[in-house]
Structure 1
Amino acid sequence: MDESEFDLAGAYVAGIIDSGSAITVSVTKNKDSRLGYRITPEIRLRRKNPEVLSILDSWAMDQGVNGKIHQMGDSLEWRLSSRDGVRNFLEALQPYLIVHDNSAQILLTEVLPRLEDGVHNDKEGFLKIVEYADMIRDERSSPSAKYDVDYFEDLWEIELKES
């Protein structure tokens, strides 16, 4: 694939992502984690048309990124949740993203570096990352998540410091 074909494919995949994917940070209970919760950056795309997911998956593999395709009811879902995979995927797509550009930027500049630095292993650092997760959810106009900043402030009886 020459450079112009690569650019075209990247723009096409960015359009797929912009038109209905979830670039998000999920927060789930996890008994094996130090604080009892896990933070996972994710990219998800659900479609009924397997050809669209095949194009996305093929382009991702060309970037060295391996997402997984799962059957979800009458649809298929492509999901990427490894930190390195999310970083590589978003770095390759970012020049072409429009709708999800800010969410990608928050993940790349705020969430992933904090996770890599282990900031999430203490309550204050975890809470700061959850604040960024809430910002990404707000960008998508997602319904509020159970595990948001308010939940952890109440649970741990601490407040997020302004930075």
Structure 2
Amino acid sequence: MSLSPPFTAETARAKVKKGQDLWNTQDPQTISKAYTPNSIWRNRSTFLTGTAAIEDFLTKKWQKEKSYRLRKELFAFTDNKIAVQFWYEYQDSHDDMKWKRCYGLEDWTFAEDGRMRKRQMSGNDVEISEEERWFKDGIDVNTVNISEAHW
């Protein structure tokens, strides 16, 4: 199955899960290979371009966000674009290791070879307690029941 555009429902869903699994490695160098050399990003209020900037951004991200666990779900797609909804949890090393969950949306635009050429992310962090966590150690993020209140 090709994960390059044009996407079908099946390939778009597979592309989203592949991205989820890649980000859960927390390996900036490997992750950056999924983007074109001049990929354009907006991540919240940060704007950047290119794989070197992506690697640097992700390195700093995971210096702050410890115990990171992410889930992405397909929201919508067209021929070369995919929109996703995501949730991730982490311990904030800049805030006494408090647990937080980020709720967000991303839109992705792909080059013909399947690498992402544009990524726009909007997200909001909410402090959560240990008891409120969804993605605890040993839990498959794909099996967590996320209620409609959180979709």
User: TM-score, normalising length from structure 1?
Assistant: 0.28
- The TM-score with structure 2 as length reference comes to 0.29
Which has more radius of gyration? 1
Structure with bigger helix share is 1
More strand by share: 2
